[in-house]
Structure 1
Amino acid sequence: MEKIRRKEERAAASLPLPARRRIALPSPSAPTQGQGVSLADAFDPGAPPPFGLADIRAAIPKHCWVKDPWRSMSYVLRDVVVVLGLAAAAAPRQLARYCIQLHISYLFIVLSSQVLPMLPNIVNLPMDKFQTALSRILQGSPRNGPSLDPSEILIAIHLIDPDKEGIALKQVIDACAACFEQRTIFTQQVLAKALNQLVEQIPLPLLFMRTVMQAIGDFPALVDFVMEIMSRLVSKFGNILSYGYDS
Protein backbone atom coordinates (compact mmCIF):
# COMPACT_ATOMS: atom_id res chain seq x y z
CA MET A 1 0.00 0.00 0.00
CA GLU A 2 2.75 2.41 0.96
CA LYS A 3 4.69 1.57 -2.21
CA ILE A 4 1.69 2.34 -4.41
CA ARG A 5 1.17 5.68 -2.70
CA ARG A 6 4.84 6.67 -3.13
CA LYS A 7 4.70 5.76 -6.79
CA GLU A 8 1.63 7.93 -7.36
CA GLU A 9 3.22 10.81 -5.43
CA ARG A 10 6.32 10.67 -7.64
CA ALA A 11 4.13 10.61 -10.79
CA ALA A 12 2.17 13.62 -9.54
CA ALA A 13 5.34 15.54 -8.62
CA SER A 14 6.66 15.18 -12.18
CA LEU A 15 3.60 16.94 -13.65
CA PRO A 16 3.19 20.73 -14.02
CA LEU A 17 1.54 22.63 -11.20
CA PRO A 18 -1.92 23.00 -12.88
CA ALA A 19 -2.19 19.25 -13.33
CA ARG A 20 -0.86 18.65 -9.82
CA ARG A 21 -3.67 20.73 -8.30
CA ARG A 22 -6.27 18.52 -9.97
CA ILE A 23 -4.84 15.34 -8.47
CA ALA A 24 -6.12 14.54 -5.03
CA LEU A 25 -4.38 11.58 -3.49
CA PRO A 26 -6.50 9.81 -0.91
CA SER A 27 -5.21 9.38 2.56
CA PRO A 28 -3.81 5.92 3.34
CA SER A 29 -6.01 5.76 6.39
CA ALA A 30 -9.19 6.57 4.46
CA PRO A 31 -10.32 4.00 1.89
CA THR A 32 -11.72 5.33 -1.38
CA GLN A 33 -15.03 3.52 -1.56
CA GLY A 34 -15.28 1.77 1.71
CA GLN A 35 -13.48 -0.25 4.29
CA GLY A 36 -11.07 -2.82 2.79
CA VAL A 37 -10.80 -1.17 -0.68
CA SER A 38 -7.20 -0.31 -1.70
CA LEU A 39 -5.95 2.34 -4.12
CA ALA A 40 -5.06 -0.37 -6.66
CA ASP A 41 -8.65 -1.66 -6.56
CA ALA A 42 -10.08 1.87 -6.86
CA PHE A 43 -7.94 2.69 -9.96
CA ASP A 44 -9.97 2.78 -13.18
CA PRO A 45 -7.74 2.19 -16.27
CA GLY A 46 -10.55 3.36 -18.55
CA ALA A 47 -10.88 6.77 -16.91
CA PRO A 48 -9.25 9.78 -18.63
CA PRO A 49 -5.87 10.83 -17.17
CA PRO A 50 -5.80 13.67 -14.65
CA PHE A 51 -3.87 15.87 -17.08
CA GLY A 52 -4.37 17.09 -20.64
CA LEU A 53 -2.26 17.78 -23.73
CA ALA A 54 -1.81 21.38 -22.63
CA ASP A 55 -0.18 20.17 -19.42
CA ILE A 56 2.19 17.93 -21.41
CA ARG A 57 3.13 20.79 -23.71
CA ALA A 58 3.71 23.05 -20.71
CA ALA A 59 6.11 20.48 -19.23
CA ILE A 60 8.30 20.44 -22.36
CA PRO A 61 11.09 23.09 -22.35
CA LYS A 62 10.42 26.05 -24.60
CA HIS A 63 13.58 25.69 -26.69
CA CYS A 64 12.39 22.26 -27.87
CA TRP A 65 9.54 23.96 -29.74
CA VAL A 66 11.82 26.28 -31.70
CA LYS A 67 11.95 25.15 -35.35
CA ASP A 68 15.39 25.26 -37.00
CA PRO A 69 15.25 23.91 -40.60
CA TRP A 70 18.96 24.53 -41.20
CA ARG A 71 20.00 22.43 -38.23
CA SER A 72 17.59 19.66 -39.22
CA MET A 73 18.92 19.62 -42.79
CA SER A 74 22.48 19.58 -41.49
CA TYR A 75 21.70 16.36 -39.61
CA VAL A 76 20.21 14.83 -42.76
CA LEU A 77 23.21 15.93 -44.83
CA ARG A 78 25.61 14.50 -42.25
CA ASP A 79 23.89 11.11 -42.31
CA VAL A 80 23.87 11.04 -46.13
CA VAL A 81 27.59 11.88 -46.29
CA VAL A 82 28.45 9.15 -43.76
CA VAL A 83 26.40 6.54 -45.63
CA LEU A 84 27.90 7.47 -49.00
CA GLY A 85 31.41 7.46 -47.54
CA LEU A 86 30.99 3.98 -46.09
CA ALA A 87 29.45 2.73 -49.33
CA ALA A 88 32.28 4.21 -51.41
CA ALA A 89 34.88 2.60 -49.15
CA ALA A 90 33.29 -0.84 -49.23
CA ALA A 91 31.81 -1.00 -52.73
CA PRO A 92 34.74 -1.35 -55.20
CA ARG A 93 36.36 -4.51 -53.87
CA GLN A 94 33.12 -6.11 -52.67
CA LEU A 95 31.39 -5.33 -55.95
CA ALA A 96 34.28 -6.69 -57.99
CA ARG A 97 34.37 -9.84 -55.86
CA TYR A 98 30.61 -10.29 -56.24
CA CYS A 99 30.75 -9.78 -60.01
CA ILE A 100 33.58 -12.30 -60.34
CA GLN A 101 31.63 -14.91 -58.38
CA LEU A 102 28.45 -14.15 -60.30
CA HIS A 103 29.99 -14.38 -63.76
CA ILE A 104 32.36 -17.31 -63.34
CA SER A 105 30.12 -19.33 -65.61
CA TYR A 106 30.62 -16.76 -68.39
CA LEU A 107 34.41 -16.54 -68.25
CA PHE A 108 34.78 -18.89 -71.21
CA ILE A 109 33.43 -16.16 -73.56
CA VAL A 110 35.54 -13.32 -72.10
CA LEU A 111 38.49 -12.09 -74.15
CA SER A 112 42.04 -12.27 -72.81
CA SER A 113 42.23 -8.46 -72.61
CA GLN A 114 39.25 -8.59 -70.25
CA VAL A 115 40.45 -11.56 -68.17
CA LEU A 116 43.85 -10.11 -67.24
CA PRO A 117 42.48 -7.11 -65.27
CA MET A 118 40.08 -9.48 -63.48
CA LEU A 119 42.77 -12.02 -62.58
CA PRO A 120 43.75 -10.52 -59.17
CA ASN A 121 40.12 -10.73 -58.06
CA ILE A 122 39.88 -14.28 -59.42
CA VAL A 123 43.00 -15.29 -57.48
CA ASN A 124 41.48 -13.77 -54.33
CA LEU A 125 38.45 -16.08 -54.53
CA PRO A 126 38.14 -19.20 -52.36
CA MET A 127 40.14 -22.06 -53.83
CA ASP A 128 37.15 -24.03 -55.12
CA LYS A 129 35.82 -20.99 -56.98
CA PHE A 130 39.29 -20.15 -58.30
CA GLN A 131 39.67 -23.65 -59.72
CA THR A 132 36.25 -23.35 -61.37
CA ALA A 133 37.18 -19.99 -62.89
CA LEU A 134 40.56 -21.37 -64.02
CA SER A 135 38.93 -24.28 -65.83
CA ARG A 136 36.46 -21.90 -67.49
CA ILE A 137 39.28 -19.66 -68.73
CA LEU A 138 41.27 -22.62 -70.05
CA GLN A 139 38.20 -24.18 -71.61
CA GLY A 140 37.26 -21.10 -73.59
CA SER A 141 34.53 -21.14 -76.20
CA PRO A 142 34.23 -23.45 -79.22
CA ARG A 143 34.42 -20.42 -81.48
CA ASN A 144 37.27 -18.41 -79.95
CA GLY A 145 39.18 -21.07 -78.01
CA PRO A 146 40.72 -20.46 -74.56
CA SER A 147 40.72 -16.91 -73.21
CA LEU A 148 44.36 -17.37 -72.12
CA ASP A 149 46.82 -20.19 -72.67
CA PRO A 150 48.32 -21.88 -69.56
CA SER A 151 51.67 -20.10 -69.78
CA GLU A 152 49.95 -16.69 -69.95
CA ILE A 153 47.90 -17.52 -66.86
CA LEU A 154 50.99 -18.61 -64.92
CA ILE A 155 52.88 -15.48 -65.93
CA ALA A 156 49.96 -13.22 -65.03
CA ILE A 157 49.64 -14.84 -61.59
CA HIS A 158 53.36 -14.23 -60.93
CA LEU A 159 53.02 -10.57 -61.94
CA ILE A 160 50.31 -9.87 -59.34
CA ASP A 161 51.53 -7.44 -56.69
CA PRO A 162 49.89 -8.59 -53.41
CA ASP A 163 50.46 -5.25 -51.67
CA LYS A 164 49.07 -3.20 -54.54
CA GLU A 165 46.06 -5.44 -55.12
CA GLY A 166 45.32 -5.98 -51.44
CA ILE A 167 45.66 -9.76 -51.72
CA ALA A 168 47.33 -12.06 -49.24
CA LEU A 169 50.56 -13.57 -50.60
CA LYS A 170 49.26 -17.00 -49.62
CA GLN A 171 46.40 -16.58 -52.11
CA VAL A 172 48.91 -16.12 -54.94
CA ILE A 173 51.00 -19.08 -53.74
CA ASP A 174 47.88 -21.27 -53.59
CA ALA A 175 46.89 -20.17 -57.08
CA CYS A 176 50.31 -21.22 -58.43
CA ALA A 177 50.02 -24.53 -56.59
CA ALA A 178 46.58 -25.12 -58.14
CA CYS A 179 48.12 -24.63 -61.57
CA PHE A 180 50.92 -27.12 -60.84
CA GLU A 181 48.34 -29.72 -59.79
CA GLN A 182 46.96 -29.81 -63.33
CA ARG A 183 49.94 -31.50 -64.96
CA THR A 184 48.04 -32.42 -68.09
CA ILE A 185 47.55 -28.69 -68.79
CA PHE A 186 50.57 -27.07 -67.14
CA THR A 187 53.07 -29.39 -68.77
CA GLN A 188 56.85 -29.25 -68.89
CA GLN A 189 56.71 -27.18 -72.08
CA VAL A 190 54.25 -24.74 -70.55
CA LEU A 191 56.46 -24.22 -67.49
CA ALA A 192 59.55 -23.75 -69.67
CA LYS A 193 57.75 -21.11 -71.71
CA ALA A 194 56.54 -19.30 -68.60
CA LEU A 195 59.94 -19.35 -66.88
CA ASN A 196 61.63 -18.16 -70.07
CA GLN A 197 59.47 -15.02 -70.00
CA LEU A 198 59.46 -14.49 -66.24
CA VAL A 199 63.27 -14.37 -66.10
CA GLU A 200 63.18 -11.30 -68.33
CA GLN A 201 60.96 -9.34 -65.95
CA ILE A 202 62.48 -6.42 -64.05
CA PRO A 203 62.12 -6.60 -61.13
CA LEU A 204 62.08 -10.37 -60.89
CA PRO A 205 58.66 -11.69 -59.73
CA LEU A 206 58.45 -12.43 -56.03
CA LEU A 207 57.60 -16.13 -56.51
CA PHE A 208 60.03 -16.77 -59.38
CA MET A 209 62.58 -18.84 -57.43
CA ARG A 210 59.82 -20.77 -55.69
CA THR A 211 58.32 -21.67 -59.05
CA VAL A 212 61.75 -22.66 -60.41
CA MET A 213 62.32 -25.08 -57.55
CA GLN A 214 58.79 -26.49 -57.84
CA ALA A 215 59.20 -26.95 -61.60
CA ILE A 216 62.42 -28.91 -61.11
CA GLY A 217 60.76 -31.05 -58.45
CA ASP A 218 57.83 -31.91 -60.71
CA PHE A 219 59.79 -32.16 -63.97
CA PRO A 220 63.45 -33.16 -63.36
CA ALA A 221 64.08 -32.93 -67.11
CA LEU A 222 63.94 -29.14 -66.75
CA VAL A 223 67.23 -29.02 -64.81
CA ASP A 224 69.36 -28.14 -67.86
CA PHE A 225 66.88 -25.51 -69.00
CA VAL A 226 66.78 -23.99 -65.50
CA MET A 227 70.57 -23.82 -65.38
CA GLU A 228 70.52 -21.95 -68.69
CA ILE A 229 67.99 -19.34 -67.56
CA MET A 230 69.79 -18.93 -64.24
CA SER A 231 73.02 -18.16 -66.08
CA ARG A 232 71.12 -15.60 -68.13
CA LEU A 233 69.76 -14.14 -64.91
CA VAL A 234 73.22 -13.84 -63.38
CA SER A 235 74.56 -12.27 -66.57
CA LYS A 236 71.71 -9.78 -66.70
CA PHE A 237 72.17 -8.63 -63.12
CA GLY A 238 75.93 -8.52 -63.63
CA ASN A 239 75.45 -6.13 -66.53
CA ILE A 240 73.07 -3.99 -64.45
CA LEU A 241 75.56 -3.79 -61.57
CA SER A 242 78.47 -2.98 -63.86
CA TYR A 243 76.43 -0.27 -65.60
CA GLY A 244 75.54 1.27 -62.23
CA TYR A 245 79.20 1.14 -61.10
CA ASP A 246 80.45 2.79 -64.31
CA SER A 247 77.88 5.58 -64.11
Structure 2
Amino acid sequence: MRTRPVVAVSIIVAAAAVVIIALLLVVRPWEGSGSPVVSEEPVDSLASPAALPPLVDESTHILNDAGPGAPVVVEFLDFECEACGAVYPTMEELREKYDGEVTFAVRYFPLPGHSNSVNAALAVEAAAQQGAFEAMYQRMFETQSEWGERQASEADRFRGYAEDLGLDVAAYDAAVSDPATLARIEQDFQAGAELGVDRTPTIFVDGERLELSQLSDIETAIQAAMPE
Protein backbone atom coordinates (compact mmCIF):
# COMPACT_ATOMS: atom_id res chain seq x y z
CA MET A 1 0.00 0.00 0.00
CA ARG A 2 1.51 3.31 -1.06
CA THR A 3 1.54 6.18 1.38
CA ARG A 4 1.82 9.89 0.88
CA PRO A 5 4.29 12.24 2.66
CA VAL A 6 1.59 13.77 4.87
CA VAL A 7 3.94 15.54 7.29
CA ALA A 8 5.91 17.26 4.55
CA VAL A 9 2.81 18.40 2.76
CA SER A 10 1.26 19.67 6.01
CA ILE A 11 4.34 21.81 6.60
CA ILE A 12 4.16 23.13 3.05
CA VAL A 13 0.47 24.01 3.35
CA ALA A 14 1.03 25.71 6.70
CA ALA A 15 3.83 27.79 5.19
CA ALA A 16 1.58 28.70 2.29
CA ALA A 17 -1.13 29.93 4.63
CA VAL A 18 1.33 32.23 6.41
CA VAL A 19 2.57 33.71 3.14
CA ILE A 20 -0.90 34.12 1.68
CA ILE A 21 -2.39 35.72 4.78
CA ALA A 22 0.52 38.15 4.88
CA LEU A 23 -0.09 39.12 1.27
CA LEU A 24 -3.85 39.33 1.37
CA LEU A 25 -5.58 40.23 4.61
CA VAL A 26 -9.25 39.27 4.32
CA VAL A 27 -10.72 38.12 1.03
CA ARG A 28 -13.83 36.05 0.46
CA PRO A 29 -14.94 34.47 -2.84
CA TRP A 30 -18.20 35.35 -4.54
CA GLU A 31 -21.24 34.10 -2.68
CA GLY A 32 -23.87 32.38 -4.82
CA SER A 33 -24.58 34.21 -8.07
CA GLY A 34 -24.35 37.70 -6.59
CA SER A 35 -21.58 40.26 -6.59
CA PRO A 36 -18.04 39.72 -5.35
CA VAL A 37 -17.81 40.08 -1.57
CA VAL A 38 -14.61 41.59 -0.22
CA SER A 39 -14.45 42.47 3.45
CA GLU A 40 -11.20 44.41 3.32
CA GLU A 41 -8.96 45.58 0.51
CA PRO A 42 -5.33 44.41 0.58
CA VAL A 43 -3.04 46.98 2.16
CA ASP A 44 -0.28 48.29 -0.10
CA SER A 45 -0.73 45.35 -2.46
CA LEU A 46 -0.44 47.38 -5.63
CA ALA A 47 3.00 48.04 -7.01
CA SER A 48 3.75 51.27 -8.85
CA PRO A 49 2.64 51.11 -12.51
CA ALA A 50 6.24 50.93 -13.74
CA ALA A 51 6.96 47.96 -11.47
CA LEU A 52 3.83 45.90 -12.15
CA PRO A 53 4.55 42.28 -13.09
CA PRO A 54 3.41 41.03 -16.50
CA LEU A 55 0.03 39.34 -16.73
CA VAL A 56 1.71 36.46 -18.55
CA ASP A 57 5.31 35.41 -17.98
CA GLU A 58 7.43 32.46 -19.06
CA SER A 59 6.02 30.24 -16.30
CA THR A 60 2.32 31.00 -16.88
CA HIS A 61 0.19 28.02 -17.85
CA ILE A 62 -1.28 28.47 -21.32
CA LEU A 63 -4.37 26.44 -22.17
CA ASN A 64 -4.86 27.74 -25.72
CA ASP A 65 -2.08 29.53 -27.59
CA ALA A 66 -3.29 31.58 -30.55
CA GLY A 67 0.11 33.07 -31.26
CA PRO A 68 1.44 36.63 -31.41
CA GLY A 69 -1.10 39.40 -31.84
CA ALA A 70 -4.07 37.39 -30.60
CA PRO A 71 -6.19 38.65 -27.70
CA VAL A 72 -5.10 37.16 -24.38
CA VAL A 73 -7.49 36.09 -21.60
CA VAL A 74 -5.86 35.57 -18.20
CA GLU A 75 -7.80 34.14 -15.26
CA PHE A 76 -6.54 34.21 -11.67
CA LEU A 77 -8.37 31.35 -10.00
CA ASP A 78 -8.86 29.25 -6.90
CA PHE A 79 -9.86 25.63 -7.56
CA GLU A 80 -12.04 25.58 -4.43
CA CYS A 81 -13.86 28.83 -5.28
CA GLU A 82 -17.49 28.16 -6.21
CA ALA A 83 -17.57 31.19 -8.50
CA CYS A 84 -14.54 29.84 -10.39
CA GLY A 85 -16.38 26.54 -10.70
CA ALA A 86 -19.40 28.38 -12.08
CA VAL A 87 -17.25 30.24 -14.64
CA TYR A 88 -15.34 27.10 -15.68
CA PRO A 89 -17.93 25.71 -18.18
CA THR A 90 -18.14 29.08 -19.90
CA MET A 91 -14.37 29.32 -20.17
CA GLU A 92 -14.23 25.83 -21.66
CA GLU A 93 -16.89 26.78 -24.22
CA LEU A 94 -15.03 29.96 -25.13
CA ARG A 95 -11.75 28.07 -25.46
CA GLU A 96 -13.38 25.76 -27.98
CA LYS A 97 -15.20 28.53 -29.84
CA TYR A 98 -12.14 30.78 -30.16
CA ASP A 99 -9.50 28.08 -30.57
CA GLY A 100 -6.70 29.49 -32.70
CA GLU A 101 -8.00 33.05 -32.32
CA VAL A 102 -7.63 33.79 -28.60
CA THR A 103 -4.95 32.80 -26.09
CA PHE A 104 -6.27 31.55 -22.74
CA ALA A 105 -3.99 31.47 -19.69
CA VAL A 106 -4.59 30.68 -16.02
CA ARG A 107 -2.73 31.62 -12.85
CA TYR A 108 -3.02 30.38 -9.29
CA PHE A 109 -4.65 32.55 -6.62
CA PRO A 110 -5.58 30.24 -3.70
CA LEU A 111 -7.61 32.13 -1.10
CA PRO A 112 -6.76 31.67 2.59
CA GLY A 113 -10.39 31.03 3.50
CA HIS A 114 -10.42 27.74 1.57
CA SER A 115 -8.90 24.80 3.42
CA ASN A 116 -7.93 22.86 0.28
CA SER A 117 -7.13 25.66 -2.15
CA VAL A 118 -3.38 25.23 -1.70
CA ASN A 119 -3.64 21.43 -1.75
CA ALA A 120 -5.51 21.64 -5.05
CA ALA A 121 -3.01 24.06 -6.55
CA LEU A 122 -0.11 21.83 -5.45
CA ALA A 123 -1.78 18.85 -7.12
CA VAL A 124 -2.33 20.74 -10.36
CA GLU A 125 1.21 22.10 -10.41
CA ALA A 126 2.64 18.66 -9.64
CA ALA A 127 0.63 17.27 -12.56
CA ALA A 128 1.89 20.12 -14.74
CA GLN A 129 5.44 18.92 -14.15
CA GLN A 130 4.41 15.73 -15.96
CA GLY A 131 2.68 17.56 -18.79
CA ALA A 132 -0.80 17.04 -17.36
CA PHE A 133 -1.73 20.55 -16.26
CA GLU A 134 -4.91 20.76 -18.35
CA ALA A 135 -6.12 17.29 -17.37
CA MET A 136 -5.75 17.99 -13.63
CA TYR A 137 -7.14 21.51 -13.99
CA GLN A 138 -10.26 20.06 -15.59
CA ARG A 139 -10.53 17.26 -13.02
CA MET A 140 -10.46 19.76 -10.16
CA PHE A 141 -13.37 21.78 -11.48
CA GLU A 142 -15.36 18.77 -12.65
CA THR A 143 -15.22 17.29 -9.12
CA GLN A 144 -15.29 20.50 -7.09
CA SER A 145 -18.72 19.73 -5.62
CA GLU A 146 -17.31 16.51 -4.14
CA TRP A 147 -14.47 18.08 -2.15
CA GLY A 148 -14.97 21.85 -2.01
CA GLU A 149 -15.65 23.59 1.30
CA ARG A 150 -14.35 20.61 3.28
CA GLN A 151 -12.27 21.39 6.35
CA ALA A 152 -10.27 18.15 6.30
CA SER A 153 -7.40 17.75 3.86
CA GLU A 154 -8.37 16.38 0.45
CA ALA A 155 -4.75 15.74 -0.53
CA ASP A 156 -5.27 11.98 -0.70
CA ARG A 157 -8.22 12.45 -3.05
CA PHE A 158 -6.06 14.61 -5.31
CA ARG A 159 -3.33 11.97 -5.24
CA GLY A 160 -5.99 9.54 -6.45
CA TYR A 161 -6.67 11.85 -9.38
CA ALA A 162 -2.97 11.65 -10.26
CA GLU A 163 -3.23 7.86 -10.28
CA ASP A 164 -6.39 7.99 -12.42
CA LEU A 165 -4.61 10.21 -14.94
CA GLY A 166 -1.78 7.71 -15.22
CA LEU A 167 0.86 9.96 -13.70
CA ASP A 168 4.07 8.72 -12.11
CA VAL A 169 2.81 8.83 -8.52
CA ALA A 170 6.25 8.80 -6.94
CA ALA A 171 7.22 11.83 -9.01
CA TYR A 172 3.89 13.44 -8.16
CA ASP A 173 4.50 12.92 -4.42
CA ALA A 174 7.98 14.38 -4.73
CA ALA A 175 6.66 17.43 -6.56
CA VAL A 176 3.89 18.05 -3.99
CA SER A 177 6.48 17.89 -1.21
CA ASP A 178 9.04 20.06 -3.01
CA PRO A 179 9.12 23.67 -1.69
CA ALA A 180 9.76 24.81 -5.27
CA THR A 181 6.25 23.69 -6.23
CA LEU A 182 4.73 25.85 -3.52
CA ALA A 183 7.02 28.70 -4.56
CA ARG A 184 5.63 28.46 -8.09
CA ILE A 185 2.09 28.91 -6.73
CA GLU A 186 3.18 31.79 -4.49
CA GLN A 187 4.78 33.43 -7.53
CA ASP A 188 1.38 33.66 -9.24
CA PHE A 189 -0.30 34.80 -6.03
CA GLN A 190 2.26 37.56 -5.49
CA ALA A 191 1.93 38.74 -9.09
CA GLY A 192 -1.84 38.81 -8.72
CA ALA A 193 -1.67 40.78 -5.47
CA GLU A 194 0.62 43.34 -7.12
CA LEU A 195 -1.81 43.60 -10.04
CA GLY A 196 -4.68 44.31 -7.65
CA VAL A 197 -6.30 40.89 -7.69
CA ASP A 198 -8.38 40.59 -4.53
CA ARG A 199 -10.97 37.92 -5.39
CA THR A 200 -11.52 34.96 -7.63
CA PRO A 201 -12.12 34.63 -10.42
CA THR A 202 -10.37 37.77 -11.63
CA ILE A 203 -10.20 37.85 -15.43
CA PHE A 204 -8.14 40.13 -17.65
CA VAL A 205 -8.92 40.43 -21.36
CA ASP A 206 -6.09 41.94 -23.38
CA GLY A 207 -4.66 43.59 -20.29
CA GLU A 208 -7.93 45.07 -19.05
CA ARG A 209 -9.48 43.77 -15.85
CA LEU A 210 -13.01 42.57 -16.48
CA GLU A 211 -15.72 43.68 -14.06
CA LEU A 212 -17.82 40.58 -14.39
CA SER A 213 -21.54 40.99 -13.71
CA GLN A 214 -22.77 38.12 -15.90
CA LEU A 215 -21.08 35.29 -17.75
CA SER A 216 -21.76 36.79 -21.15
CA ASP A 217 -19.47 39.70 -20.22
CA ILE A 218 -16.47 37.47 -20.90
CA GLU A 219 -17.33 36.86 -24.54
CA THR A 220 -18.37 40.49 -25.00
CA ALA A 221 -14.91 41.57 -23.86
CA ILE A 222 -13.24 38.98 -26.10
CA GLN A 223 -15.18 40.16 -29.14
CA ALA A 224 -14.24 43.77 -28.39
CA ALA A 225 -10.58 42.75 -28.28
CA MET A 226 -10.63 40.81 -31.56
CA PRO A 227 -8.67 42.47 -34.36
CA GLU A 228 -10.83 44.01 -37.06
The normalised TM-score by structure 2 is 0.21
- Greater RCO, CA 8 A, separation 6+: 2
Could you say which structure has the larger radius of gyration?
Answer: 1
Larger strand share, 1 or 2: 2
